[in-house]
Amino acid sequence: MKMKITETVLRDAQQSLMATRMPQSDFEGALDLMDQAGYYAIECWGGATFDACLRYLSEDPWERLRTIKKHMKHTKLQMLLRGQNLLGYHHYSDDTVRRFVRAAVENGVDIIRIFDALNDLRNIRTAVEACNEAGGHAQGTICYTLSPIHDLELYVSLAKEIEEMGCASLCIKDMAGIMSPKECFDLVSAIKKAIKLPVFVHTHTTTGLAHMTYLKAAEAGADGIDTATACFSGGTSQPATQTMVYALEQMGISCGTDAAKLKEVNDFFTPVQKKFLADGTFDPYVLTTKTDVLTYQIPGGMLSNLVAQLKAQNAIDRLDEVLEETPRVRADLGYPPLVTPLSQMVGVQATVNVLLGQRYQNIGKEIKAYIHGEYGRAPGKLDETLMHKVLGDKAPIEGRYAETLEPEFPEAKKQLGSRAESDLDVLSYIAFPQQAEQYFAAREMRRAFVTPYSIEEVTE
Ligand code: CO
């Protein structure tokens, strides 16, 4: 038996532990080594990396991707993409999605893991098709959540749809780390029976279930798991690569990795981790096991957001009420999985409901758009009263929201004019307008500083 190992230190691990603040200069020296470690893939792009590059690190995300690619002779590169939302928080036009996906593959991405927060697979189809057209590997994704309507039957039907759509593999994505070993065994077994695609399991160590869950995934015949090098593992990140390989290989499951190289990779990243621990970017609190996540069924990141929100409002004593209100709001909205952007939307609405003392007295703009169908089809039925309150007698949109959107690229290109040095700049601008502008300005400044001046010019 074999298990494919995807290393996440460059994307999910550092995103989950330290808000994606690792600059390229901190990991560039490890890339050749990582390429020799025998990973099936390295997840290194997408998710929050794109935004973080522009917003906090003043890096060109496309350049980062090309640099990583240059060092990879044996290892596939993986990115995470939010379907029609790309890397942002609203839906983009099909034209933008196609251009973005093509550019990602052209600049070095091999595998695109594509998900929709609502598991509305109409919202991943354009990205899947564009990925296939560009010669990439499209990995269709099921967001794992628990609710009265999310049962094995529903998940298996999603898996079949993902196979029919032309995906090359399937991922079960447990963003909250709530999938138990038994649930994982049952789910992987059912999906493996129903479809032929390789199945990858993605989870987080948040609740302490992950190592057990991965073992049961292996027993059920999963083809791949996501892990993070030891010093960036645990807590809200993934189980350690070294630990999982050690355990699996004793069971006769070959991971294809080189133990000595895996140690070298970890030795490289250990001082990087120490640096971020020392400056507070990496708060060791994220490493503690949070079983409350199992009680409340709220992802760890969402829980800390709720706490931060309430502290800012001087209302931390209302936390218990908000934690009880959150699942009620989720039920009213037809049980969306609590993943970006739905986790934020549901959390804010629950907080507002509690703090104002009256439910839905004030309804967020995004929640209104959701109820209007702009995020896609809700998994379950929406609360009738709430729907009526938002829509009046109007009906929610039935079709795919992106079909109502005009192409964005030509207009963005015109707006940017000479500030865009390439079509990739235009795509960065469409994805994150303010952050991209800020990055372009910083780039200009840096160039001005490294351009050698003659004495005359300086003194004038
Ligand atoms: Co994740």
**From ligand 1's centre to the CA of 410, what distance in Å?**
33
Kindly give the distance from the C-alpha atom of residue 10 to the centroid of ligand 1, in angstroms, as a whole number.
12
CA of residue 174 to ligand 1 center, whole Å: 7
Spacing, Cα 296 to ligand 1 middle (Å): 19
Contact 162, 121 (CB under 8 A): yes
- The CA–CA distances, whole Å, from 246 to 34, 77, 170, 241, 264 equal 18, 24, 25, 8, 16
Can you give the pLDDT at residue 409?
A: 96
The runs of H, that is alpha helices, within 195-258 are 210-219, 241-250
What is the distance in A from the centroid of ligand 1 to the CA of 13?
8
* Gap from CA of 9 to ligand 1 centroid (Å): 11
DSSP 286-341: GGS--THHHHHT--HHHHHHHHHHHHHTT-GGGHHHHHHHHHHHHHHTT---S-TT
In SS3 terms, 370-391 reads as HHCCCCCCCCCCCCHHHHHHHH
Q: How far is the CA of 204 from the centre of ligand 1 (A)?
A: 6
Collapsing DSSP to helix, strand or coil, 42 comes out as strand
Expressed in angstroms and rounded, the spacing between residue 300 Cα and the centre of ligand 1 is 11
**Distance (Å) of CA 130 to CA 126, 134, 138, 166, 458:** 6, 6, 9, 11, 50
CA of 257 to the centre of ligand 1 (A): 22
pTM exceeds 0.75: yes
For 13, 61, 68, 391, 397, the CA distances from 27, given in Å and listed in that order, are: 13, 14, 9, 49, 45
Q: How far is the CA of 420 from the centre of ligand 1 (A)?
A: 32
Cβ atoms of 114 and 138 closer than 8 Å: yes
Q: What is the pLDDT of residue 60?
A: 97
User: Amino acid letter at 169?
Assistant: S
Question: pLDDT, tens digit, for every residue of 202-249?
Answer: 999 999 999 999 999 999 999 999 999 999 999 999 999 999 999 999
Residue 155 burial (CB count, 10 A):
19
- How far apart CA 76 and CA 233 sit, in angstroms, is 21
Torsion over CA: 227, 197, 112, 412 (sign): negative
Distance, CA 203 to ligand 1 centroid (Å)? Answer: 6
Residue 279: alpha-carbon gap to chain centroid: 25
pLDDT score of 253: 98
HSE-CB for 74 with a 13 A CA cutoff? 12
Question: Is residue 232 within 8 Å of 270, Cβ to Cβ?
Answer: no
Per-residue pLDDT of the chain (460 residues; tens, 9 = 90+): 999 999 999 999 999 999 899 999 999 999 999 999 999 999 999 999 999 999 999 999 999 999 999 999 999 999 999 999 999 888 999 999 999 999 999 999 999 999 999 999 999 999 999 999 999 999 999 999 999 999 999 999 999 999 999 999 999 999 999 999 999 999 999 999 999 999 999 999 999 999 999 999 999 999 999 999 999 999 999 999 999 999 999 999 999 999 999 999 999 999 999 999 999 999 898 899 999 888 887 776 788 788 888 989 999 999 999 999 999 999 999 999 998 889 989 999 999 999 999 999 999 999 999 999 999 999 999 999 999 999 999 999 989 999 999 999 999 999 999 999 999 999 999 999 999 999 999 999 888 876 555 444 444 4
- Measure the CA dihedral 127/139/44/31, to 10°: -130
CA of 142 to the centre of ligand 1 (A): 12
Give how far Cα 162 sits from Cα of 114, 170, 196, 223, Å: 10, 7, 11, 16
Report the C-alpha gap between 209 and 182 in whole angstroms. 10
Q: How far is the CA of 75 from the centre of ligand 1 (A)?
A: 20
Q: Please, is 333 exposed, middle or buried when counting C-beta atoms within 10 Å of its C-beta (0-12, 13-18, 19+)?
A: buried
**Gap from CA of 80 to ligand 1 centroid (Å):** 9
CA 64/CA 115 separation, integer angstroms: 23
- The rounded Å distance from CA 179 to ligand 1 centre is 13
* 372-408 residue pLDDT tens: 999 999 999 999 999 999 999 999 998 999 999 999 9
- Write down the pLDDT at residue 459: 42
Nearest of 172, 159, 96, 89 to residue 127 by alpha carbon: 96
Bridge pairing between strands 199-202 and 224-227: parallel
373 Cα–ligand 1 center, Å: 26
Mapped onto helix, strand or coil, the DSSP state of residue 45 is strand
For residue 148, is the peptide bond before it cis, meaning its omega torsion is within 30 degrees of 0?
no
Distance 202 CA to ligand 1 centre (A): 7
d(CA 428, ligand 1 centre) in Å: 23
Centre of ligand 1 to C-alpha 21, Å, is 16
CA of 303 to the centre of ligand 1 (A): 16
12 Cα: distance to centroid of ligand 1 (angstroms): 6
DSSP 46-57: ETTHHHHHHHTS
| Encoded tokens for 118 | 């609502």
446 C-alpha to ligand 1 centroid (Å):
34
Residues 178-213 as b/e (b if ≥16 CB within 10 A, e otherwise) read bbbbebbbebbbbbbeebebebbbbbbbbbbbbbeb
